[in-house]
Amino acid sequence: MTRNDKTTDTPTPEMLAALGAGHIAYVRPIMSEDAMKLYPQVGSIRPGIKLFTLNAADGTPIMIADSAEAALANAWQNELVPVAVH
């Protein structure tokens, strides 16, 4: 028996991101020079410093911290479940 009809659609990245909206966040390391380019509101930071961003499921930045632990604590404080991404 061969199945030729497609009964399910492949989810888009937007659909997957929406699954965790308001509930899931992830922490990502970022270098200070990249942080200044991506988030101009950060201001001037010495280059070469490893920072950590807390991001919503859709990638929207929530905050920048100087440690992964601080970013994770912020997630829990805001009732977000932090997940590991690779």
Specify the pLDDT at position 3: 53
Which among 56, 51, 42 has a CA at the least distance from the CA of 85?
Answer: 56
14 within some domain: no
Specify the pLDDT at position 83: 85
Q: Any idea which residue has 């990249």 for tokens?
A: 34
Q: Are 64 and 42 in contact (CB under 8 A)?
A: yes
Specify the pLDDT at position 20: 61
**pLDDT tens by residue, the chain, 86 residues:** 455 555 567 878 777 666 666 688 999 999 999 998 888 888 888 999 999 999 988 888 899 999 999 999 999 999 999 887 76
Q: Are 65 and 52 in contact (CB under 8 A)?
A: yes
1 within some domain: no
38 within some domain: yes
Specify the pLDDT at position 33: 93
8 within some domain: no
Which among 50, 74, 33 has a CA at the least distance from the CA of 42?
Answer: 33
- How far apart are the C-alpha atoms of 31 and 25, rounded to whole Å? 19
CATH number at residue 50: 3.30.730
Specify the pLDDT at position 8: 64
In three-state secondary structure terms, 86 is coil
7 within some domain: no
Domain that holds residue 37: 23-83
17 within some domain: no
33 within some domain: yes
Q: How many domains does the chain have?
A: 1
